[in-house]
Structure 1
Amino acid sequence: MNPNDPFIKIKPYLTTHSLFPENQEAPIHFLENSETPTGLTYRRNHFPFPALSTKSYYLTITGSVKNPISIPYNQIITMPSRTVTSVLECSGNKRAHFEPKVFGEQWNDGAISQGTWKGVPLFYLLQIAGIQDSAREVVFEGNDSGVKKGQHVHFARSLPLKKAMEHDCIVAWEHNHKPISSKHGFPFRLIVPGWYGMASVKWLKTIRVVDHPFTGPFQTDDYVYYPHKNNNEEAVPVTVSHVNSIIQQPRDRQILQSGQHEIKGLAWTGEGVVTFVEVSLDDSETWKPANLHGQPLQYQWIMWSYSFLFEKNREYSIKVRAYDSNGHFQPEIAFWNWKGYGYNAVSQIKIKIE
């Protein structure tokens, strides 16, 4: 088989971790566009996919509101809309890199994708319902459900009211210019740009405004940074995505011929924009600025590259770190926490030159 034959279509695929529930990584090393194709968008689930139809689908807004309402699908998609292109990254992305190792889905680098989402701004829906003065948080419940610690629960998360009212938080019905797929939240998915993916609740069915802190299991047990394995001291919630990067090419432990090669990859951050990426080829002794391709945009990853003349019969340790407009940068060692969230240490690979 000749891979250069124009009649042979070669394409990357998702990397499967589990099927029940389905958890699959995006082929991040081979993505080059601002939109990850839907079929290559990572999948992170706690429960089986719900089977839903738009024919009798309503989104309910209840709780500490003046006008509790249930709005049918066909009405919501006619409401004022907003389109947001955003990275969505699982908070457990790169968990497999933690040392010491932690339990949980052993994601490598591909629990991340970028897509374009269209939907009604969340604040618009909350204004229709009329928020009461006592409101503190907004809880979002999906249709996916199952047993967790002996109890049947739906996946549910909350946002502080201030965050929920930001204009870029939307209840989306389109992903990459088509109705959201059944595996990515159809018919409605909350999109919270800049926060880790657990906040962007899929298969959204109920929005509940509350006057107290929400304490569901995916709010106060999972998706919390626990820095101490034997107690809950200094625990803080997982929220904003950390500044991070990945080396797409070359691949780790790849063998290359001597000569000029391009090191390239992606960098992203939750708040602000990526402003600088630098590369080291001598194990952090010296750092050189990489080229950024395009204008850094909020919520979106940016492509970077660095060209280098590699010498024959040598091994190279390549490291990359990104900086953002808020002064955050990738540390040499990630903040260890026993559930394995938010890994963003300096990206690194090793290659051999023949």
Structure 2
Amino acid sequence: MTSAPRSEAAYDRLRLRQWTRGDAASAGIDRRDLLKLVAAASVAAPLVPAAASPASASQPGLPGVVKPLPPELFTLRGTNAETNFAALRDTGLLTPADRFFVRNHTTTPSVDPARWTLTVWGSGLHGGPVDFSYDALRALPSVTRTAFIECAGNGRSYFTSQQDQQVSGTAWTLGAIGTARWRGVRLAEVLRRAGIDRHAVDVLPRGLDAEVVSDGTNLGRVRRPLPVSKAMDDVLLAYEMNGEPLPPDHGAPVRLIVPSWVGIANIKWVGDIEVSAQPLLSPWNTSLYRLFGPGYPAEGSAPLTGQTLKSAFELAPGASFAAGRRHLITGRSWSGGAPVRSVDVSTDGGVRWRPARLRDEPRTGSWVRWTADWSPRRTGPGVLLARATDRSGRVQPAVTAHNTQGYLFDAVVRHAVNVV
């Protein structure tokens, strides 16, 4: 039995109070180092140009990434590869693995499924550690779920380019997202079989990629706690992506899928899971993946959980359109909250808006494709805008509130084009 589920907001308020009082355990890193990292996170810094180098014909891949990264599909950004949104135009609802963005903190590890073992352990279990082999995991009842994964920093570059605000981190545009059909075992099923106790409060999955070193501090392997209420809800331990075994860059042999939550929660290459009767902290829910800056407390906001609302055109920046002809413009919108209800587009820089046509049934945790017609009359530069509304009534704003690490940009993006 687990404790009664609490709302995300209540959980976040509780953890924030525990963090402030020093009541939570900092798993794997000295608390003084965490405090130093939190202090550094509150300072705004320019986007690092070296983290945003465009791909070229002579640079088809990236050290530490297994799959090819051709320039027509990806833009390379440090250890990461951003999907070029124009490359999604003919892909359907699901993002093929060869076009799915790559977010690596270090490099993609090679893990043999035959030798892989998932260890579930910790003070939140009735007994000692429990191991699951790959075959044992696949023998459990499976679930298939369509869900997007999106980096919390997706859209970060627009804080600078649209709002003239400095932020730190990878200079993503809008391509740090992909939607796939994931198959795996419910995390709740594994936790029950491991003997989760009713006193458990946090579940901490940890990846098998290399340890992360930041400014001389070893942060350890990537890990981020989930509240038990979320872990026992809709989270998957996935071993298939779009009907095929997980590719190496996307978490093989097993990864977490945490629907609608920020990408960091979807730990890749899971090797062990700590179940704790005590609140847990890691760098990825203290100095990282909180909101810092004006309007936030010194220790930052509560840890980020649900994703926000966004829209993107399936067009290259500066795409050209012939004047006097009818064009079909396409795009996608998504929300980490309620399903998308409607999308409006503007082809005159935001003076007039009209509804786009939705191509998919809106669903929680997935995106919707949409189309609109455009017959430009005059030549010259132009700006296209798309603005989504979800079923909770949330509408994309004109401006996103600033935070120093550039998370959760949700404002309407101005997409520059040329009419010739």
Q: TM-score, normalised to structure 1's length?
A: 0.91
Q: State the secondary structure of the residue aligned to 1:71.
A: strand
**Which residue is equivalent to 1:158?**
225
Are the equivalent residues in 2 in contact too, given 1:264–1:304 (CA < 8 A)?
Answer: yes
> 2:106 touches 2:209 (CA, 8 Å); kept in 1?
yes
User: Which one has a larger percent strand, Structure 1 or Structure 2?
Assistant: 1
Q: Deviations over 1:256-301 (max 9, x none)?
A: 2112122210001112211100012333332211110121122111
Equivalent position of 2:148 in the other structure = 87
1:234 is displaced (CA, Å) by: 5.1
- Kindly indicate whether residue 403 of structure 2 is the aligned counterpart of residue 337 of structure 1: yes
After TM superposition, give the deviation of residue 171 of structure 1 in Å.
0.3
- State the match for 2:85 in structure 1: 28
Partner of 1:136: 201
Counterpart in the other structure of 2:134: 73
Q: Which residue of 2 is the match for residue 349 of structure 1?
A: 415
Distance 1:246 1:313 in 2: 23
In the TM superposition, 1:1-354 aligns within 5 A as 12-18=72-78, 22-31=79-88, 32-63=91-122, 64-67=124-127, 68-99=129-160, 100-146=165-211, 147-148=213-214, 149-151=216-218, 153-166=220-233, 168-228=234-294, 232=298, 235-249=301-315, 251-258=316-323, 259-354=325-420
More helix by share: 2
Instruction: Specify whether residues 230 and 193 from structure 1 end up closer, same or farther in structure 2 by C-alpha distance, changes over 3 A only.
Output: closer
C-alpha displacement of 1:11: 9.3
Unaligned runs of 5+ in 1: 1-9
Contiguous gaps of at least 5 residues in structure 2: 1-69
Greater Cα shift, 337-346 or 126-135: 126-135
Please tell me whether the aligned partners of residues 243 and 330 of structure 1 are also in contact (alpha carbons under 8 angstroms): yes
RMSD in angstroms over aligned alpha carbons?
1.9
Q: Is the 8 A contact 2:290 2:300 kept in 1?
A: no
More relative contact order, 1 or 2 (CA 8 Å, 6+ apart): 2
Q: Partner of 1:144: helix, strand, or coil? A: coil
From the superposition, tell whether residues 324 and 138 of structure 1 become closer, same or farther in structure 2 (CA, over 3 Å).
Answer: same
Deviates most, 271-280 or 143-152: 143-152
Question: In structure 2, what is the Cα distance between the partners aligned to 1:282 and 1:12?
Answer: 28
Q: How many residue pairs were aligned?
A: 340
Offset at 1:118?
Answer: 0.6
Alpha-carbon separation, structure 1, partners of 2:349 and 2:94 = 33
Equivalent position amino acid for 1:75 in 2: A
Output the TM-score relative to the length of structure 2: 0.77
> CA separation in 2, counterparts of 1:295 and 1:270?
16
Q: Aligned to 2:279, what secondary structure does the other structure show?
A: coil
Aligned 8 A contact 2:347 2:374 in 1: no
Does structure 2 retain, via aligned residues, the 8 Å contact 1:226–1:236? no
Residue 348 of structure 1 aligns with an amino acid whose one-letter code is R
| Change in 2 beyond 3 A, CA 1:315/1:52 | closer
Report the Cα distance in structure 1 between the residues aligned to 2:328 and 2:317, rounded to whole angstroms.
14
Give, in whole Å, the separation in 1 of the partners of 2:355 and 2:296: 41
